[in-house]
Amino acid sequence: MDLTKNSQRLIRRFLLIVSLSLILCSVAFAESRYQAIPLHPGYEFGSEKALILDTVAGHMWIWVESPAIGKRDGGRYVIYQGQLTPGREMGDIMAEQHWPPNNEAK
C-alpha cells in the first residue's frame, strides 16, 4: 500500500491535530482541578497568601510568600491543611477543636 505524498501529509496533519487536542484537553483539566483563592494577608507586612483547593480529591494547602524585611528572612511556604470530607446534609460539623479561654487578657 503506497500512499501518495498528499495522503501522507493529510495523515500527519490529522495526527498532529489529534495530539494537540489531547494535550489541550489534559491542560484544561489540570487547570480546572486546582483552584487558588487569595486570602487576606493578616497583620504580616507584605505577605501574600492563597488557599489552593484540589477540586477532585478535596485536598487543601495554604501558600504563603513574604519578602525579606530588615533582618527578618523572607520565604515561600506551602502548608498542607487536610482533606475535605463530604457531609450527609447541610450544617454537618465535620471536625471540631476546643481549647480553654485565655484568662490572661482582662
SS3 track for 9-24? HHHHHHHHHHHHHHHH
Per-residue pLDDT of the chain (106 residues; tens, 9 = 90+): 566 777 777 777 777 677 767 776 666 555 688 999 998 877 766 678 899 999 989 999 999 888 888 888 888 999 999 998 888 899 988 888 888 888 765 5
Q: What is the secondary structure of 40-87 as a DSSP string? A: --TTSTT-EEEEEEETTT-EEEEEEEE--BTTB--EEEEEEEEE----
Please tell me the pTM assigned to this model. Answer: 0.54
Predicted confidence at residue 29, as pLDDT, reads 59
SS3 of residue 28 by DSSP? helix
